[in-house]
Amino acid sequence: MPSVSGSRRSRGSTTAEFATALPAVVLVLACCLGAVQVIGVQVRLTDAAATAARVLARGDSTARAAGLVHRAVAGASLAPERRGEFVCAGVVARAPGIFAGLTLEAVSCALAGGQ
């Protein structure tokens, strides 16, 4: 049987351990949620690049394609490029949230002339 003085000493240890571990748990949770947010933006960038490449391949203006990209991902920029018989659209944006230092990119190409 533990002594009375021993149980008094360990009485607040669970609270102290919880208070020490809580910031680490919150940080891991924030990183996980931030990663999900970054993945969502990357998927939207990929879709925006594909849409912009198709629009440019049809012969529409760069301004129209850039507008579609900006509507899909706020703050994204479009870099159209011609590669032989293909029209490519590169889209670049900053990652949101705690990963704001990252730059996300997506490139998609479409056959010029819409064929």
In tens, the pLDDT along 4-36 reads 555 566 667 788 888 888 999 999 999 999 999
Structural domain total, the chain: 1
pLDDT of amino acid 10: 66
The pLDDT tens digits for 32-51 are: 999 999 999 999 999 999 99
Question: What pLDDT was estimated at residue 66?
Answer: 95
What contacts 57, CB < 8 A, 6 or more positions away?
A: 86, 87, 110, 111, 112, 113, 114
Q: To which residue do tokens 């609270």 refer?
A: 15
Q: Which residues contact 80 (CB under 8 A, 6 or more apart)?
A: 52, 56, 62, 65, 87, 88, 89, 90
Domain that holds residue 73: 4-114
Instruction: Please return the burial class of 2, using the count of CB atoms within 10 Å of its CB with bins 0-12, 13-18 and 19+.
Output: exposed
